[in-house]
Structure 1
């Protein structure tokens, strides 16, 4: 698995056709090139998922004024989200049947409810990006590394961690899904 995290530059004008999408795709291309270490052309499937040639899988996420790109072979997904305060009822609505898992993560890690719920949210986003069912079973697995939370979705694994990012007031959760370990 190769990972690149690129800070987003100043906001470009998006008043041209496809402006916002064009900016995001340009940022995705830069991050994809960094994650592979070589020039790559990023193409997009009709559903918007990015692809690169060479038998590698690409996943890209935008958040916290960053672009995250991950490349590997096999199933892959990534997400980056700023931790935001939401009422319990809002989190319950967003996470659905996984709301209880967020409470388990909070108890396991000692984190506040918003951070734990954001970890679960990013894991679900990763599952969806990998082509899995976001509403499917997701379990909390033991993590050998402090600060990391590992989730299982069948044979898929999602590793999530929380960190500070310069220029972002709230904590940021990064999550990456791969096959197996």
Structure 2
């Protein structure tokens, strides 16, 4: 019985070591890269034969047995996409809003774009346009924040309204 238990334990250990070896050999991920795997997102801090350490953005250091690393997504290679959905009022001219979005100056973090994909959604309050920019790896989130600010300022300068929910209250009066 003890031999059987030791055999199963060795099998798990061997499986983890073999998986770790293939991850290291195949260079699927490397230290410092942003990855998603086994339900975790974060920056790879250490690659070992048995475990991989991934630090989540909240600071948690996750120790993941290599045998659990399946379906690895490496977000650090190549370019990334910054997507910004921005709503305009139904009374605003869509083509004018698109031209304002197209007029953003190039940013050194932009690899390509901006491109206005057109109408994304006809919402309850707004017509939603999508602006897409290809960015350098790991720059997409800051680019999205900067683009939202620039779009808001450009829309303000061009009289384009970004609608928001409003509530109107009617007070009934009694007539004598």
TM-score tier after normalising by the smaller chain length: under 0.3
Larger Rg: 2
Q: TM-score, normalised by structure 2?
A: 0.27
